[in-house]
């Protein structure tokens, strides 16, 4: 079955996330996983007894979904522990939607929880870059000796190259952070809610040239869960379904030194795949949720997904196109730059995309949103996955 053959066969029917404006959450990661799973199932009007597929990328690697299912007291007939960092959850949606369409499962739960900020506050390591993992790894042998500060150093390389090739400026990158903060100012659960200016971004401490502190994402606690089922079953459930119209995935490298082109990500492959499956174009997207680990991440994704030509991302974002009232509303929670970022933000992109399609976002609601795009980025611009969701009107 082709990607287009899977169009609108499955839907996201339940969502939940746990975040705090303090950045801190109470409880273990397992307790938070259970909390958001219960809330997402309640949101859908389902129970744990309905679940026959589990997706989790935490805990003991390959055993993540096994351990979670055991804890929940269920025996799924479909399981997924795919771990690609921040894009894992978009990939889980792609896998689960295909499994549902093929009759391999009926109800899939995808979950994520992490508490790096609490860990740090308690004297633990907090969030550590996987690129700096100990042992005889390729990164340890071939990249760490050069002292590139990770992970921001990897993105700084991409930003520097984009600036060199296309004339992109720090002011243009800063505008992305400014626009994102406008959305956060309307979200009482966001970690950072105060409005900022381009000057504020440029005056914040340099982290890895040319990226300043306010170009970089947060480190917070957070958890989220989503529930998928067939489009047919979704129509009888509690909330309006967010139909999975198209998906696409591409990974290009593991180490930043091996990225084929620092200015082009795998989104240049995953995006067209998703749009072709959805039978839509970028111009038909009403709201986008883009992985914003750094401002340069957003700019690269806008280009690679086709919202503007390659090299024109700087001028494209310079006039507030991503802000409230802009032509392309983006990261309407406040994103990883201002809402929350527990280490892998892809889950929260999906939750917000669904809420926007349902019209549940209050002051930050995008009027008439019928098509939403959520795009996850994992590793160091390594693994890209695009999910396009739509309402019944787009079926």
- Please give the positions annotated as active site: 291, 339
Torsion of CA 365, 368, 371, 372, to 10 degrees: -10
Residue 392 tokens, joined: 């019944």
Residue 137 tokens, joined: 């790894």
Chain position carrying tokens 């996987």: 130
E strands present in 29-144: 53-56, 78-80, 108-114
Residue 274 tokens, joined: 């998703």
Contacting residues for 186 by C-beta, under 8 A, at least 6 apart:
324, 362, 363, 364
- Determine the Cα–Cα distance for residues 219 and 115; give it in Å rounded to an integer: 9
Residue 329 tokens, joined: 């509303």
Chain position carrying tokens 């679940």: 51
Instruction: Write the burial class of residue 75 (CB in 10 Å: 0-12 exposed, 13-18 middle, 19+ buried).
Output: exposed
The radius of gyration computed from the CA coordinates of the chain, to the nearest angstrom, equals: 19
DSSP 194: S
Q: Which of 299, 84, 293, 119 is nearest to 207 (CA)?
A: 293
């Amino acid at each position: 079955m082709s990607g287009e053959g899977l169009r609108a066969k499955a839907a996201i029917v339940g969502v939940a996330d746990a975040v705090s404006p303090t950045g801190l959450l109470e409880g273990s990661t397992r307790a938070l996983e259970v909390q958001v799973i219960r809330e997402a199932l309640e949101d859908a009007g389902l129970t744990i007894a309905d679940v026959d597929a589990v997706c989790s990328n935490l805990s003991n690697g390959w055993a993540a979904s096994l351990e979670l299912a055991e804890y929940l007291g269920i025996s799924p007939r479909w399981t997924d522990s795919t771990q690609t960092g921040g894009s894992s959850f978009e990939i889980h949606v792609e896998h689960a939607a295909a499994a549902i369409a093929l009759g391999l499962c009926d109800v899939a739960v995808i979950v994520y929880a992490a508490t790096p900020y609490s860990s740090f506050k308690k004297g633990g390591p907090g969030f550590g870059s996987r690129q700096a993992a100990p042992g005889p790894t390729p990164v340890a042998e071939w990249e760490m000796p050069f002292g590139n500060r990770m992970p921001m150093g990897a993105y700084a390389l991409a930003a520097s190259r984009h600036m060199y090739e296309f004339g992109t400026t720090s002011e243009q990158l800063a505008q992305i952070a400014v626009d994102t903060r406008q959305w956060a100012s309307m979200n009482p659960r966001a970690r950072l809610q105060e409005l900022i200016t381009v000057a504020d971004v440029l005056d914040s401490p340099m982290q890895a040239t040319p990226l300043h502190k306010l170009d970089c994402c947060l480190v917070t606690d957070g958890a989220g869960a989503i529930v998928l089922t067939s489009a047919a079953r979704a129509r009888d459930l509690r909330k309006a379904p967010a139909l999975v119209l198209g998906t696409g995935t591409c990974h290009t490298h593991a180490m930043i030194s091996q990225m084929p082109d620092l200015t082009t990500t795998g989104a240049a492959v995953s995006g067209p795949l998703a749009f072709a499956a959805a039978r839509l174009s970028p111009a038909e997207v009403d709201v986008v949720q883009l992985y914003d680990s750094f401002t340069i991440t957003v700019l690269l994704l806008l280009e690679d997904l086709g919202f503007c030509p390659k090299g024109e991302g700087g001028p494209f974002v310079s006039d507030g196109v991503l802000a409230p009232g802009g032509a392309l509303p983006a990261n309407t929670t406040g994103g990883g730059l201002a809402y929350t970022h527990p280490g892998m933000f892809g889950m929260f992109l999906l939750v917000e995309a669904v809420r926007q399609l349902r019209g549940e976002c209050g002051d930050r609601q995008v009027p008439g949103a019928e098509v939403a795009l959520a795009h996850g980025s994992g590793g160091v611009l390594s693994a890209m996955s695009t999910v396009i969701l739509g309402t019944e009107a787009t079926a």
